[in-house]
Amino acid sequence: YFVTSIGCVMIKSGGVIGRSWAMLFAGGGFQVKLYDIEQQQIRNALENIRKEMKLLEQAGALKGSLSAEEQLSLISGCPNIQEAVEGAMHIQECVPEDLELKKKIFAQLDSIVDDRVILSSSTSCLMPSKLFAGLVHVKQCIVAHPVNPPYYIPLIELVPHPETAPTTVDRTHALMKKIGQCPMRVQKEVAGFVLNRLQYAVISEAWRLVEEGIVSPSDLDLVMTEGLGMRYAFIGPLETMHLNAEGMLSYCDRYSEGMKHVLKTFGPIPEFSRATAEKVNQDMCVKVPDDPEHLAARRQWRDECLMRLAKLKSQVQPQ
Ligand code: NAI
């Protein structure tokens, strides 16, 4: 078999995200070193990855062309940060979402890395200009934001710092493609990047519709799973417009007045009040009680569905 022997260093391993990155990089044939401040987290992660990869292999859903054993042999734990970054071409930071902690880690990395390695953060909402401010190696810094669960949802948002070199963006884009993910470029940083801005727009209106008694929480979710979501796995909102008339221009001619009329009735940002949260929770718990076992079982079902959807997408859209 063929393994590209380039070190990919993971900063932290215990949580969902670090583990997923490790599996994705190993799937792409890269050597991975996991580093975490807690030794036990590294041991847990290695054990967990072994179990998960074996299951994925049995289900025929393991990514990449290597066997589970081959991929597992590429991943090792490393208790020392200096050793972990040695020879690395890409460092993916996945420590908790805390600006001061992440800044501390990047300052530490900044003092030990060379001019070639890419310093990448998994942050969901911290701004690159805040995270990477003042680093000597700022040109090599980027945010590569995955979507949970990353092994099943391929999108990666690439968000540069204003001083990030174009080659850093290009190299990270190429690496993400190589490991089978689907990178996209956010050209200028903005709060929430793109995915969460869209997601929050949907949540905000969903909340309002439920709060105003227009629809029940479970019926609201049906509108997505049986309606909008059916198409969104294949065509985005802009292509939907393009296809729902004779092209985008014709759609705007026909529907923009109607859209503006509806959009003007949207209200302010919801307060996410306790009362509404309890009402929504009650409805959600009918199908999925909010204890750890039921939630874990439902997540497993979700991952299985996403895996099948990925298979279907690869059949209908050869890449
Ligand atoms: P987590 O809390 O599960 O894992 C954090 C890990 O970092 C722990 O294993 C901890 O021991 C380790 N750690 C803490 N301080 C450290 C240090 N100084 N040096 C090395 N390791 C240290 O967090 P999770 O959920 O995996 O999230 C990590 C990052 O990924 C966050 O920035 C989060 O916003 C982002 N992210 C999370 C998503 C999610 O749905 N969980 C989705 C996309 C991005």
pLDDT of residue 3: 31
Residue of minimum CA distance from atom 44 in ligand 1? 124
Band of pLDDT at residue 10, cut at 50, 70 and 90: low
Which residues of the chain does CATH 1.10.1040.10 include?
Answer: 194-287
Query: DSSP letters along 4-27, please?
Result: EEEEEEEE--SSHHHHHHHHHHHH
pLDDT at 11 over 70: no
36 in contact with ligand 1, CB cutoff 6 A: yes
CA–CA separation, 276 and 207 (whole Å): 8
Distance 179 CA to ligand 1 centre (A): 21
74 Cβ below 6 A of ligand 1: no
Any ligand 1 atom below 6 A from CB of 15: yes
Q: What is the position in ligand 1's atom list of the atom closest to the CA of 121?
A: 32
Distance CA 113, CA 89 (A): 10
The yes-or-no verdict on residue 64 having pLDDT over 60 is: yes
- Residue 93 in contact with ligand 1 by CB distance below 6 A: no
150, 159, 177: which is closest to 120 by C-alpha? 159
Which residue intervals of the chain bear CATH 3.40.50.720?
Answer: 7-185
Which residues have C-beta within 8 Å of that of residue 67, sequence separation ≥ 6?
57
- Tens digit of each residue's pLDDT (9 = 90 or more) over 131-175: 999 999 999 999 999 999 999 999 999 999 999 999 999 999 999
Quick check: CB of 14 below 6 Å from ligand 1? yes
Q: Is 199 in the pocket of ligand 1 (CB under 6 A)?
A: no
Using a 6 Å cutoff on CB, does residue 16 contact ligand 1? yes
What ipTM was predicted for this assembly?
0.97
Residue 201: both structure tokens together: 């727009």
C-alpha 318 to ligand 1 mean position (Å): 34
Q: Over the stretch 109-120, which tens digit does the pLDDT of each residue have?
A: 999 999 999 999
CB atoms closer than 10 angstroms to residue 218:
13
Q: From CA 35, how far away is CA 12, in angstroms rounded?
A: 5
In this predicted model, what pLDDT tens digit does every residue of 74-109 receive, in sequence order? Answer: 999 988 888 888 888 999 999 999 999 999 999 999
Residue count (the chain): 319
Mean pLDDT computed over 4-31: 75
Structural domain 7-185, CATH architecture: 3-Layer(aba) Sandwich (3.40)
At what angle are helices 195-211 and 274-287 packed, to 10 degrees? 100
Close Cβ partners of 105 (under 8 Å, ≥ 6 residues apart)? 11, 93, 95
Answering whether pTM is above 0.90, one says: yes
- Please state the rounded mean pLDDT for residues 53-59: 94
Q: Quick one: fold of 194-287?
A: N-(1-d-carboxylethyl)-l-norvaline Dehydrogenase; domain 2 (1.10.1040)
Q: What's the pLDDT at 13?
A: 52
Predicted local distance difference test score (pLDDT) of residue 319: 57
